[in-house]
Every structure is written in structure tokens, then in C-alpha cells.
A and B are shown apart, each in its own frame.
Chain A
Amino acid sequence: DVKVTQSSRYLVKRTGEKVFLECVQDMDHENMFWYRQDPGLGLRLIYFSYDVKMKEKGDIPEGYSVSREKKERFSLILESASTNQTSMYLCASTKNGGQGTEAFFGQGTRLTVV
């Protein structure tokens, strides 16, 4: 059974803390993504990576950074957490290829910044 696993289901952090969200996939997928989901806004892309040590900004990268040191692991970093970063964070991965390649998602991390 293919899997994308996020390290935490729920997190509560204080304003100004550095926060690490970890994502691991076991499908040998080349591409990994971080999204946040907010009511009425759908899924918004924060960062993505097409290969190890490569990263690309998505639509809302401000306040975030990422790290991909190994193919199976993609980390999202909140350098200094703020209350407007309270959200559901979703990691996804896809295999290279044309049509027919869907994205597989992790179970999500509900982050609350207080």
C-alpha cells in the first residue's frame, strides 16, 4: 500500500518558534509538494521539489522554507511561526510522467500557532 506519511497529525506552537513539518513517501516519487488548506481558499501550493536538493516556490512561499536532502523526505520549515500560519498542512508526491499520474497525499498536519 503506497504511503505518504506526515510526522504529526496535530501541532501547537508558540509565535516566533521555528517549526519543522516532515513528510516521507515510500513510492520512489520524484516530485513532492507542500500545500496549506484554509476554508474558502482550497489547497494553495507553498513549495515543491522535482528532485533531491531542488526546490521551487509555489504560490505562497513567504514565511516558509523547505529542505529535500533525500528523495523520500521533504521538510517544510516555518522560520518564525505566526498566527496567520495556523492551518492544515498537506504533503503530496507524484511520479514523473504524463497523464495518468495522480498526486498522493499524506494525512495532513493541523498546526495551531498561539
Chain B
Amino acid sequence: DQQVKQNSPSLSVQEGRISILNCDYTNSMFDYFLWYKKYPAEGPTFLISISSIKDKNEDGRFTVFLNKSAKHLSLHIVPSQPGDSAVYFCALRTSNTGNQFYFGTGTSLTVIP
């Protein structure tokens, strides 16, 4: 049973516009939420995170929003750049499971120049 879902396998956005990537989860015990970016033939790299006590965290062009009541996480990239083209995974963790992360299925973002 998939606890973490990214319902959009792919997304295309024009350069300069906003990219919005979504992630939904079922387990209300998740308390730490992360986004990873992955280029082909490379390992994922950490992008941004948010804890359950917040509803927004910003880092430059990247903002993560958390809606705990809806069990929904989103990543906004603005303005989008061609170098942002990659696969994005959300990753969630609960204190109950120690350091085990649960990953979404990924969204492939293409930013069109």
C-alpha cells in the first residue's frame, strides 16, 4: 500500500513560469517532509524540507507548503529554469520509524526554454 503518492508522473513548464509539484500522503504520523531532485544516472540530492510544525518554508526560488489537514505537500519553483529539469521525489518520515524515509513515485519536470 503506497503511503506517499505523486499523482503527476510528468510536468512541462515554460522557462520563467511557476512549477508546482504535488505530493499526497495517508499516514498522519509523518512529521518531517523533504523534497529531493534527481538527474538521470545520478543519486537524488536534497532540495528543501519542512517540519510538521510549519506550513511553509522558503529557500530562494524553492518554497515548500504543507497542508496537514489535507495531508498534502507541494513544492513551488519560481521562476523555473531549464536546469530545474529533473525528477522530483517527495520523502516523508515519522519519528516512530526512526530514520526510515518513505518516497513518492516521482514527478519528471521539464522546463522548456
Contacts and interface: CB of A to CB of B under 8 A. Distances in A.
B16 interface: no
Contacts of A45: 100
A43 B99 contact: no
A91 B44 CA distance: 10
Contacts, number: 69
Contacts of A44: 103
B106 to A, nearest CB: 5
Interface in B21-56: 31-32, 34, 36, 41-46, 49, 51
A37 B51 CA distance: 26
Given A90-B43, A105-B44, A107-B43, A40 B100 contact: no
Interface string B54-75: 0000000000000000000000
Contacts of A4: 43
Interface of A: 4, 6, 9, 30-31, 33, 35, 40-45, 48, 50, 90-92, 94-108, 110
| 10 residue pairs, one from A and one from B, having the closest CB atoms | A105-B43, A42-B105, A43-B103, A94-B99, A99-B32, A31-B99, A102-B46, A99-B51, A107-B43, A105-B44
Given A103-B46, A107-B43, A110-B41, 20 more contacts: A31-B98, A33-B101, A35-B103, A40-B9, A42-B4, A42-B89, A42-B104, A43-B89, A43-B106, A45-B100, A91-B43, A92-B101, A96-B99, A100-B51, A102-B34, A103-B99, A104-B46, A106-B43, A107-B42, A108-B43
